[in-house]
Amino acid sequence: MDSSNEIEDLQQANATLSENIQKLGSEMELVQQRFEQQSKLAGIGQLTAGILHEIRNPLNFVNNFSRLTLDLVTEMKELLNASESTETEEVLELVDMVNVNINRILENGSRAERIVQTMLTQTRTDANQVIPTDLNQLLEEFSKLAYQGVRGNDKEFNVKFIFRLDPGIGKVNLMASEFTRVIINLVNNACYAVNARSKEQNEPGYVPEIMVSSALNGDWVDIRIRDNGIGISQDTVEKVFNPFFTTKPPGEGTGLGLSLSMATINEMHKGKLTVTSEKGVFTEFVISIPLNL
Ligand SMILES: Nc1ncnc2c1ncn2[C@@H]1O[C@H](COP(=O)(O)OP(=O)(O)OP(=O)(O)O)[C@@H](O)[C@H]1O
Ligand SMILES: [Mg+2]
């Protein structure tokens, strides 16, 4: 081999090396970004646990006093029924109305309590712990929670939820905290898509709709989250599960939601997460998980 060849080889090797160093540099940047994101998320977790603890006490107060007041109302009704005063009927009507109102307060207070309880156990327990979970209740509560989250940022936002939940499902073995995050992300995405459609397209009579369904399918359970939002085009649909793929403006999406959801369903629950969509018409995500995890 003569020396000019050697020099050429060396130059070539040098060029490759500097290319590799550049690649490594940008990869490190990505890793650093991810690390920062993760630590931010961990901080949010701690903050959430703190807030949940603070909310739980006043919430207990609301629920306990609602229960006590319901007992008092029952006693009052008994006394009124025994009394012979002429105004009894009117008062009884009022007492009935008070009864209905307190029942509503208790119902919603208990709902909040369940959400706080679920979230608290999730922040405490090992994320990989399998817990027998009332799947339908989880779907309904966390869909609404995701919706409230979007509404918190946009008071004009509204969507019609349709729940088709198979009552035969009962408790399903889930890694509840991770699974909940999947539902929140999917419903969040659906809310975003219907909101974008109602804002971008000027379609009179458009009613934003999200359907959440659960159904037994042999030894599996299928959960569908379907929206009539902007939809996804054929060439984009292949990319939606890629980490960091997002069509949302900077600051609004990290593009991690679906890739993390995919990992949670595939790896942690030995299930499948798939999507079908038609641009401008609908998007449907289907989660299938085995019942005997
Ligand atoms: N229901 C949907 N309708 C239309 N497009 C969707 C829907 N769900 C997901 N997408 C598309 O897939 C992309 C990736 O979704 P993903 O949940 O992974 O990230 P993101 O929502 O953009 O950000 P993040 O979830 O991290 O906040 C979205 O930016 C959007 O383009
Ligand atoms: Mg998302």
SS (HEC) of the chain: CCHHHHHHHHHHHHHHHHHHHHHHHHHHHHHHHHHHHHHHHHHHHHHHHHHHHHHHHHHHHHHHHHHHHHHHHHHHHHHHHHCCCCCHHHHHHHHHHHHHHHHHHHHHHHHHHHHHHHHHHHHHCCCCCCEEEEHHHHHHHHHHHHHHHHHHHCCCCCCEEEEEECCCCCEEEECHHHHHHHHHHHHHHHHHHHHHHHHHCCCCCCCCEEEEEEEEECCEEEEEEEECCCCCCHHHHCCCCCCCCCCCCCCCCCCCHHHHHHHHHHHHCCCEEEEEEECCCEEEEEEEEECCC
Nearest residue (by CA) to ligand 1, atom 1, is: 190
pLDDT tens for each residue of 87-113: 888 889 999 999 999 999 998 888 888
Amino acid 184: pLDDT = 92
Examine the pLDDT at 2 and tell me if it is beyond 80. no
Half-sphere exposure of 27 (CA within 13 A, CB side): 6
pLDDT tens for each residue of 183-225: 999 999 999 999 999 998 788 999 999 999 999 999 999 999 9
Among 37, 44, 184, 240, name the best residue to mutate to test ligand 1's pocket (greatest count of ligand atoms within 8 A of Cβ): 240
Residues near ligand 1 with C-beta < 6 Å?
185, 189-190, 193, 227, 229-232, 240, 245-248, 253-259, 283
Confidence of residue 282 (pLDDT cuts 50, 70, 90): very high
Examine the pLDDT at 1 and tell me if it is beyond 60. no
Amino acid 38: pLDDT = 67
In the chain, the percentage of residues whose pLDDT exceeds 70 is: 92
pLDDT tens for each residue of 133-155: 999 999 999 999 889 888 877 88
pLDDT tens for each residue of 43-56: 666 667 777 877 88
* Average pLDDT rounded to a whole number, residues 156-176: 94
